[in-house]
Amino acid sequence: MTLDHFGEPISRFLYQCFGFFTAAEGFFFLSGFVGILAVKSKLAKGQDSSWMRKRAVRIWKYHIATVLFVTFLAIVLFPSLRSYVEGLIEHPLSGALLVVSLIYTPSWLDVLPLYVFLLLIGSFILPFISRGRLLPVWGISFGIWLVSQLGLREWGLSFLPSWSYPGFFDLFSWQFVYFSGATISVLWKDHLQAKASQGNWYSILSIGCVLFCLFCGLWSHGLLPIAQPSEFWVSREHLGLIRILDFFAFVVVISWIVRNKAALLDFSFTATLGRHSLEIYACHTLMIYFWLATPTSVRYASPWNIVVPIAACVFLWGIAKSIENHSKTPK
């Protein structure tokens, strides 16, 4: 995600490299997939899902702090960043209210607000999924995604000020990835895992998904003699049908690798980052803004546009390692 956000030339090879989807789909799918496992574990111990609401509040605080810091940078140090927070600067009172309510989210600062909403909603919905009520929850989620393709979000945005930027991601569409991750997690663990070991249907499905992902990858990069699909089918904002099918096929492929060649995906480097994902994501966002404030003569010039993004990733790992070592230090 960091390398994608730093832009070309590295992002040219990473952005949608497996087809019509990005790393963001994987982030929200895994959030739902892992979230339901945590919910089931805590319910088994007699605890409720209030921890999700507490985490949502914590993420909300990180988001507000990041927005305020970026706004400070735009006003005091880097005027080139002003366009990203123009609405907040020109409308401080109403802008602040919309920022606090997570309705106005400046560019590059719209992922955490979406995650906050999903955690808050999920704290009430995931317990139902954990108890086996898969079809009703998934069906409602699918229905909301379906309606979102027809402009549900645009209708809601018509009531907001024109200067307020609600972020790139459509909550009505992206909730489907999150709750599909939770539903598939329970479905696989409770119903399909044993059956997959007893027959060859899963291998056949995996082969079909590999071929479909390969087809979408070639198609998305213009390597097939087929016209590109319209934005409606591959929309990132609304998660178009082809995009979502491509991503779910990729999920099947990854699950096959996890079942059969798990060592191929065992990276201690990313595990260190993952254990402190919230802090690292907030730092990554600030680094993106610092990069955007860098003169274009540097940002678009070699070797800086290659060296700096890689150095940023190493620096983020160093931050994660430092947090980890500090947490292990006896108080």
Per the CB < 8 A criterion, the answer to whether 63 and 112 are in contact is yes
Taking only the tens place, the pLDDT of each residue in 117-139 is 999 999 999 999 988 888 899 99
Report, as ranges of residue numbers, the positions in the chain whose pLDDT lies below 50. Answer: none
Reported as a single tens digit per residue, the pLDDT across 59-90 is: 999 999 999 999 999 999 999 999 999 999 99
Per-residue confidence (pLDDT) for residue 101, from 0 to 100: 94
Question: Tell me, what's the pLDDT at 236?
Answer: 93
Cα(273)–Cα(318) distance, integer angstroms: 9
Exposure string over 116-143, b if 16+ CB within 10 A, otherwise e: bbbbbbbbebbbebbeeebeebbeebee
For residue 252 the two structure tokens come to 């099947």
- Among residues 11, 7, 26, the alpha carbon closest in space to that of 277 is found at 26
Decide: pTM greater than 0.85: yes
CA-to-CA distance for 193 and 166, rounded, in angstroms? Answer: 40
What integer pLDDT is reported at residue 266 of this predicted model? 81
Distance in angstroms (rounded) separating the CA atoms of residues 68 and 81: 13
Looking at residue 268, its pLDDT comes to: 75
DSSP conformation class of 6: T
Contact predicate 217/178, CB 8 Å? no
The Cα–Cα gap between 167 and 87 comes to 13
CA distance 304 to 310: 10
Residue identified by tokens 């680094």 is: 287
Exposure on the CB side of residue 172, measured as CA atoms within 13 A:
17
Residue 142 has what pLDDT? 97
C-alpha 74/C-alpha 85 separation (Å) is: 8
C-alpha distances out from residue 179 to 1, 42, 173, 198, Å: 22, 19, 11, 27
Rounded (to 5) percent helix, strand, coil in the chain: 75, 0, 25
Secondary structure of residue 79 in the 3-state scheme: helix
pLDDT of residue 107: 84
